[in-house]
């Protein structure tokens, strides 16, 4: 496969290169693409240096697949240009996720809906991916009617500049701020921009993307997304109300059997998931699993995952793997 990684110098792009390498994705030629600022710089892949190229050069080389993580406006402008030359685009931005003709894919849940017609495929938001991976099988069994979500999101979700802000603040050095306030020793109930309804765009992504992936347009979902001074790994408190009642033993059994989920839940031994040990791993970790006694058929869970991996790069690479394995790419 001739593979373009668009945004190869960014936080997610760098993890994409690492994940492609680790999973031995069949890359015969790598095109490392970034903004004009980075043309001529090098990135590493499989212990080799690759010179960063611009969009026009990459499109001219008609890659088989382009994995994008270069921001929404870049995807909006360039994904169709790649698609036009026959490239299948897997896009990590929010640009195409809610487009009615574009599929929003978490491989464990809905990769089977992909066909060769899908030339721009959307990768969901990081907070959404980890939640639906944990929730999907439970939902299939008990029919989730309502979700109340609170997120504790790492600064890596905002990109390199946000990690720099936290690092400067920790070292008491001057530097540019990407958040409206200090993030070190603080938490901001503000991820992405505010919308007219008083929610943030990140909160509404959880609502709309979850409904689209699970095919549940009427599911009641409300979210509060909070940025915390953590460098890698998003955490979420999720309260679910199901239509059907459940036994806790069955909930544990289902979660233990859910593809992509690792249960870490032993309060007696202080075992629960934390962003700290999710870093660099692909699993979605679930713990603090307990019945919500304040409402019928309700459950609390604590869900943690590395937002740069399963929340972004790994999910995108898994989509690409599915396309290759099922010969959905034109050249596969």
Which of the residues are catalytic? 126, 234
- Of 7 and 107, the one with the shorter C-beta distance to ligand A2P is 7
CB of 68 to ligand A2P, least distance (A): 9
**Measured CA distances, 176 to 20, 89, 182, 218 (Å):** 32, 33, 11, 42
Of 70 and 133, nearer to ligand A2P (C-beta) is: 70
The least distance separating ligand A2P from the CB of residue 74, rounded to whole angstroms, comes to: 4
Of 277, 139, 285, 283, the C-alpha closest to 221 is 139
Say how far apart CA 301 and CA 235 lie, in whole Å. 10
Residue holding tokens 């990140």? 202
Least Å distance between CB 241 and ligand A2P?
35
How far apart are CB 158 and ligand A2P at their closest, in Å? 8
- Please identify, using beta-carbon distances, which residue of 9 and 241 lies nearer to ligand A2P: 9
Smaller CB separation from ligand A2P, 10 or 275:
10
Residues that bind ligand A2P (CB under 6 A): 6-11, 13, 34-35, 37-38, 55, 70-71, 74, 159-160
Q: Which residue is nearest to ligand A2P (CB)?
A: 10
Main-chain phi, psi angles of 269, to 5 degrees: -110, 20
């Amino acid at each position: 496969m001739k593979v373009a990684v668009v945004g190869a110098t960014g936080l997610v792009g760098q993890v994409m290169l690492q994940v492609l390498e680790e999973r031995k994705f069949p890359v015969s030629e790598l095109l490392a693409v970034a903004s004009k600022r980075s043309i001529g710089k090098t990135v590493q892949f499989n212990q080799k240096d690759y010179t960063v190229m611009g969009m026009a050069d990459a499109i001219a080389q008609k890659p088989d697949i382009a994995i994008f993580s270069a921001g929404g406006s870049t995807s909006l402008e360039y994904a169709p240009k790649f698609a036009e030359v026959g490239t299948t685009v897997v896009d990590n931005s929010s640009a195409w996720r809610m487009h009615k003709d574009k599929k929003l894919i978490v491989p464990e849940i809905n990769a089977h809906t992909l066909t060769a017609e899908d030339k721009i495929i959307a990768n969901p938001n990081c907070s959404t991916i980890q939640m639906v991976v944990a929730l999907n099988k439970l939902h299939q069994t008990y029919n989730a009617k309502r979700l109340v979500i609170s997120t504790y999101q790492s600064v890596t979700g905002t990109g390199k500049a946000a990690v720099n802000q936290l690092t400067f603040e920790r070292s008491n050095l001057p530097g540019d701020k990407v958040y409206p306030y200090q993030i070190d020793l603080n938490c901001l109930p503000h991820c992405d921009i505010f919308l007219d309804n008083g929610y943030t765009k990140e909160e509404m992504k959880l609502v709309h993307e979850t409904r689209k992936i699970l095919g549940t347009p009427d599911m009641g979902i409300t979210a509060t997304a909070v940025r915390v001074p953590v460098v890698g790994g998003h955490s979420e408190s999720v309260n679910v109300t199901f239509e059907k009642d459940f036994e806790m033993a069955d909930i544990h059994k289902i979660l233990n059997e859910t593809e992509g989920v690792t249960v870490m839940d032993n309060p007696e031994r202080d075992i629960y998931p934390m962003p700290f040990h999710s870093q660099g791993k692909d699993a979605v970790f679930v713990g603090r699993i307990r019945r919500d006694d304040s409402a019928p058929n309700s459950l609390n869970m604590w869900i943690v995952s590395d937002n740069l991996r399963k929340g972004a790069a790994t999910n995108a690479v898994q989509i690409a793997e599915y396309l290759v394995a099922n010969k959905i790419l034109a050249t596969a």
